[in-house]
Amino acid sequence: MKKVVPILVLILLISSFGLHNSNAQQDWKLIWSDEFNGIKGASVDTNIWKFDTGGGGWGNNELEFYTNKTKNVYQDGTGNLVIKAIKETIQNGCWYGNCAYTSGRILTKDRLERQYGRFEARIRIPKGQGLWPAFWMLGSDIGTINWPTCGEIDILENIGKEPKTVHGTIHGPGYSGANGIGLPYTGSQVFSDGFHVYATEWEPEAIRWYVDGILYQTRTPKDLPEGAKWVFDHKFFLILNLAVGGGWPGNPDASSVFPQAMKVDYVRVYER
């Protein structure tokens, strides 16, 4: 039977929802951002970002070689960062860096490192089998205690074979890799068709994930396996990258078209 909601109740519900969202947004103060307003073809601001470079699979059997070249990471002159994955041609009998693809991976390590806050980016992800765009965070102490003890917060991950689904996950000791704790969010449209806002609000003993302002999961220490440690109580840095291939997304196939680009309108960080 169809249930009819009285108009007054419906108005009250809508009003309450709007007030809640407004108050929640006012609780956060912008403290840092990169709007990517550089000239066309410019690299990223190296006062903000540094490059991870190299190949070798990155622990996931990935196929790309990350470069610091503007063919892979550049600003487009219209307010976007572009991270481009390119299928390279064979030169002198070998691939670029022994990898069939090049791409980009940038991070704020030693530049911007924060404990708690709202971390948000407006991104248009690429499309195609074998592509793996990500906006995520790693614990700043990774150099001394290694992964996953340092902790990892994945704000956005997508694998090309799931065009309508994105993932948010935490990784730590005893809950890493395929055992990471998270949920997928499935939208009504293909995410690569336009820009979307991906955000995480990270506070003591709580992490929340949003897509276009919609809260779709919250994680606390109660979600961890018995005896596991909550390692999200120290500074983290930000990472943007576009991987190609690997155990989770699988490798590109005949349907995959290159080059493909991950476009980032902005990255913003807020505090309470």
Residue 4 within a domain: no
For residue range 204-254, what is the model confidence (pLDDT) as tens digits? 999 999 999 999 999 999 999 999 999 999 999 999 999 999 999 999 999
Structure confidence at residue 35 (pLDDT): 98
Tokens of residue 92, six digits: 């002198």
Residue 18 within a domain: no
How buried is residue 259: exposed, middle or buried, by Cβ count under 10 Å (0-12/13-18/19+)? middle
For residue range 2-56, what is the model confidence (pLDDT) as tens digits? 333 343 333 333 333 333 343 455 699 999 999 999 999 999 999 999 999 999 9
Residue 108 within a domain: yes
Per-position b or e across 31-55, b if 16+ CB within 10 A of its CB: ebebebebeeeebbeeeebbbeeeb
From the list 242, 271, 187, 230, the residue with the least C-alpha distance to 65 is 242
CATH code of 256's domain: 2.60.120.200
Residue 57 within a domain: yes
Structure confidence at residue 92 (pLDDT): 61
The domain of 45 spans 29-271
The predicted model scores a pTM of 0.90
Which backbone phi and psi does 13 adopt, to 5 degrees? -65, -45
In the predicted structure, residue 167 carries a pLDDT above the cut 70: yes
Structure confidence at residue 3 (pLDDT): 39
Catalytic (active-site) positions: 152, 157
Number of independent structural domains in the chain: 1
Structure confidence at residue 15 (pLDDT): 38
Residue 144 within a domain: yes
Query: Mean of the pLDDT values across residues 55-74?
Result: 96
Place of tokens 């903000």: 48
Q: Within 10 A of 264 (CB to CB), how many other CB atoms are there?
A: 25
Pairing outcome for strands 105-107 and 196-203 = unpaired
Q: How confident is the model at residue 1 (pLDDT cuts 50, 70, 90)?
A: very low
Structure confidence at residue 11 (pLDDT): 35
Residues 6+ apart with CB under 8 A from 102: 64, 65, 66, 67, 69, 71, 72, 85, 86, 88, 96
For residue range 77-112, what is the model confidence (pLDDT) as tens digits? 999 999 999 999 876 666 777 799 999 999 999 999
Structure confidence at residue 90 (pLDDT): 75
Q: How confident is the model at residue 202 (pLDDT cuts 50, 70, 90)?
A: very high
Structure confidence at residue 160 (pLDDT): 97
Place of tokens 């576009």: 242
